[in-house]
A and B are shown apart, each in its own frame.
Chain A
């Protein structure tokens, strides 16, 4: 009996020691190899900020229960150049936008000439959707614009996510602060809350689909909810997405905008 007792005590000490070693190893590993907020956002930027892009898009605008659908083609190069042309419905067909740096021009077929839009209007709704012109044209590295803080983890739509808080480093940003849920497995921001400097929640974005294109995990289905309007949301579905292709420079010109 005494031998059995001694053996049991010895087994207990071995197991306890092993457990302690495992916990210590795990903590050490977590501390040394855990990602920082900056590292996470760098991966997000690597997925979403592209050199050039071309796509077909469908925009579904829901307003007070009524659904309207619009389609357009988009081109973008860096953060300065964006060209958008609506192809449907018939009423909007041929409406074109050209953004060069902070300036935007609109071409309406009925007017047959380009009109410059005042700068502050870039923050207004694009074609009645919950996206602003700035939202659609956004293609800048968040690392350069925001100070980043990692809060922890959370689960969104059964996906494990990092939760980050981003606060603007400079005032020339579209939104003063953002709260992001970044999926751990894809480094796609699947949920983003956009805030004003006052702390008021302005918009909420959810990404429900993305596509692997080259080295990018690129969002292809994005829902935007404008929290300042009631009973409204917009879904943007990107199709035929091409990234980092060669886009002729004439696309981003007023002559192309005003072509007949």
Chain B
């Protein structure tokens, strides 16, 4: 017990040194908590974009469409029959919607600008992709209207704006040329550069007539009230359907995110190594500075074990205070940015790479991240301090006193 009292008094003996040591630990832990929350925020953002804009919680296509999706094979379409709707019936469904994805070449003088069109049920998509809220100009489309909403980047490339006419020439599901003139009713912005530069949306019924796909759609997305049930619900639907029923967790982009998670973990590991070295540096300085003092203690008869225990407890106190401070700062910063967000618009829109997130990243801290950061700080401080401590206590008292 007296060792704890001694360690506590020693903490205040050189307060400046203790504060500096604690501060470096606090900064390291703040960085770790921020990095982890930021990475989690990006992956949550990507996951949310994938669900709302691409896959829903469950996505249904024909198996052949899934196999050849890159070629956008319109002829491989789902038959939206009463039997189909009966087969997908589930009380966990919040909203569902058919979609038709089709590729076009746009341009005033020559068809040379590639773009991707989606024919959607405008009312149902409000609860899925939420494009109504993403409009930056104009108004939303309605069923039956020969109208479209266009991505902001695409509008710039085509040099069009709200009120202009967009002429589309494409092919039907049977490879016959087809075309339509659409009124540009609105311009939207997702913040994802690649999507804003290439996407436009039209009403489903207009798209079905245009593409010779009456009563059919190339994909069907479902939103559940509990996304964690997606795998089970998809399995149940698959047993009743010959189509491919895929929960969002198996989406290709999210799978790449999981693989990218390994890269993120590596980056996080680098941050931890840097944090460890900062803490180690501090504790080395603390321990070697007290070599004489340790020599004095040994000369007075204290054995190695209580000396090590004393120094370890001192390190732990520095670690606890530093980690607590870092965790508090990290928590305040992360939770503030959870609601404030970091605006990535410039990075997302200007890069040539299609970043699948944006424009605003909201950090995603959790109690687990905070507790983990705190414990990491304390344990690292004690462990990295023990190494120099064990070397110093092995010195002979006379040798230590001469240091």
A residues apposed to B, CB below 8 Å: 63, 68, 91-92, 95, 106, 108, 110-113, 115-118, 125, 127-129
Contact = CB atoms under 8 A, between A and B. Distances in A.
A112 B177 contact: no
Interface in B174-220: 174-181, 212
B14 interface: no
B258 interface: no
A115 B167 CA distance: 10
B112 A111 contact: no
Interface string B146-179: 0000000000000000000001010110111111
Residue from B112, B169, B177 with most neighbouring chain A CB atoms (10 Å): B177
Contact of B181 (A95, A112, A125): A112
B110 interface: yes
Contact of B111 (A91, A117, A127): A117
Contacts of A110: 178-181
A260 to B, nearest CB: 15
Nearest to A63: B174
A68 B105 contact: no
Contacts of B172: 128
B175 A128 contact: yes
Nearest to A95: B177
A113 to B, nearest CB: 7
Contacts of B109: 116
B83 to A, nearest CB: 21
A111 B167 contact: yes
Interface in B344-392: none
Given A108-B169, A111-B167, 14 more contacts: A92-B176, A95-B176, A106-B177, A110-B178, A110-B179, A110-B180, A110-B181, A112-B181, A115-B111, A116-B111, A118-B110, A127-B176, A128-B171, A129-B175
A91 B180 contact: no
Contacts of B180: 110-111
Nearest to A86: B176
A44 to B, nearest CB: 30
Given A118-B105, A118-B110, A118-B111, A108 B179 contact: yes
A111 B105 CA distance: 14
Nearest to B168: A111
B174 A108 contact: no
B180 to A, nearest CB: 5
Given A91-B212, A110-B180, A68 B169 contact: no
Nearest to A66: B174
Contacts of B174: 63, 68, 128
Interface centre among A110, A112, A113, A127 (most CB of B within 10 A): A110
A127 B177 contact: yes
3 residue pairs, one from A and one from B, having the closest CB atoms? A128-B175, A108-B179, A111-B179
Interface string B317-344: 0000000000000000000000000000
A118 B180 CA distance: 19
B328 to A, nearest CB: 62
A128 B177 CA distance: 8
A236 to B, nearest CB: 16
B175 A111 contact: no
A117 B174 CA distance: 18
A129 B172 CA distance: 13
Contacts of B111: 115-118
Given A116-B110, A117-B111, A118-B110, A128 B179 contact: no
Contact of B169 (A91, A115, A125, A127): A115
14 contacts: A68-B174, A91-B212, A106-B169, A106-B177, A110-B180, A110-B181, A111-B167, A111-B180, A112-B181, A115-B167, A115-B169, A116-B109, A118-B112, A128-B171
Contacts of A125: 175
Interface in B270-291: none
Instruction: Output the residue of B109, B176, B181 with the most chain A CB within 10 A.
Output: B176
Nearest to B146: A110
Contacts of A68: 174
Contacts of A112: 181
A58 to B, nearest CB: 16
Interface in B26-82: none
A68 B111 CA distance: 28
A110 B172 CA distance: 14
Contacts of B171: 128
Nearest to A103: B110
B261 to A, nearest CB: 40
Nearest to B110: A116
Contacts of A117: 111
Contacts of A111: 167, 169, 179-181
Contact of A127 (B112, B167, B175, B181): B175
Contacts of A115: 111, 167, 169, 179
Nearest to B174: A128
A141 B179 CA distance: 35
Nearest to A89: B176
A47 B271 CA distance: 79
Nearest to B178: A108
A68 B174 CA distance: 10
Nearest to A118: B111
Most buried by B among A68, A112, A128: A128
The CB with the most chain A CB atoms within 10 A, among B109, B172, B179, B181, is that of: B179
Contacts of A127: 175-177
A194 B245 CA distance: 41
B351 to A, nearest CB: 28
A112 B165 CA distance: 13
A117 B105 CA distance: 10
A63 B76 CA distance: 13
Contact of B176 (A113, A116, A118, A128): A128
A63 B174 CA distance: 9
A108 B178 CA distance: 7
A8 B39 CA distance: 111
